[in-house]
């Protein structure tokens, strides 16, 4: 990582089932990397491909190739990690 990129880094908060974790991100990284980081932090190993990050207003972060900045994620942003669809049958 370049020193310049390092200087851009900031903290966001991700919450999952009662726990909150602070993740350091940079505005240029793809949100796919943020999602993978969150899954590791919370130890979610099952059905990872069905998990998604949501803003508090329930907007789902769908295009994982877009960057943190593209999605308007800034220092202090809180995101929710959860299943995209919660079903039983």
Partner 1 sequence: MISLSSRVVTATLDTLRSCGAGSRECLLYWTAGDDRGDVARVVHPIHDSTWSSCEVDGAWATRFFLDLPDRAERTVAQVHTHPGPFVEHSATDDAHVLVPSTGFVSIVVPYFGLRDDHDGWGIWQLGSDGSWAAAPEVITWRTG
Using CB under 8 A as the criterion, which residues of the chain lie in contact with partner 1 when the complex forms?
15-20, 42-47, 50-51, 54, 56, 58, 60, 78, 80-89
Which CB, 4 or 57, lies closer to partner 1? 57
| Distance of closest approach, residue 81 Cβ to partner 1, in angstroms | 8
- Alpha-carbon distance of 78 to 50, in angstroms, equals 20
Instruction: Tell how strand 19-25 and strand 10-16 pair up.
Output: antiparallel
Which CB, 26 or 34, lies closer to partner 1? 34
| Distance of closest approach, residue 69 Cβ to partner 1, in angstroms | 22
Which CB, 9 or 21, lies closer to partner 1? 21
């Amino acid at each position: 990582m370049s020193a310049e990129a390092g200087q851009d880094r900031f903290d966001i908060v991700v919450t999952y089932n009662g726990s909150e974790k602070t993740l350091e991100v940079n505005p240029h990284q793809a949100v796919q990397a943020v999602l993978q980081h969150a899954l590791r932090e919370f130890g979610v190993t099952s059905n990872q491909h069905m998990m998604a990050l949501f803003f508090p207003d329930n907007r789902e972060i769908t295009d994982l190739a877009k960057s943190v900045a593209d999605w308007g994620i800034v220092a202090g942003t809180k995101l929710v990690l959860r299943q995209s669809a919660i079903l039983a049958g």
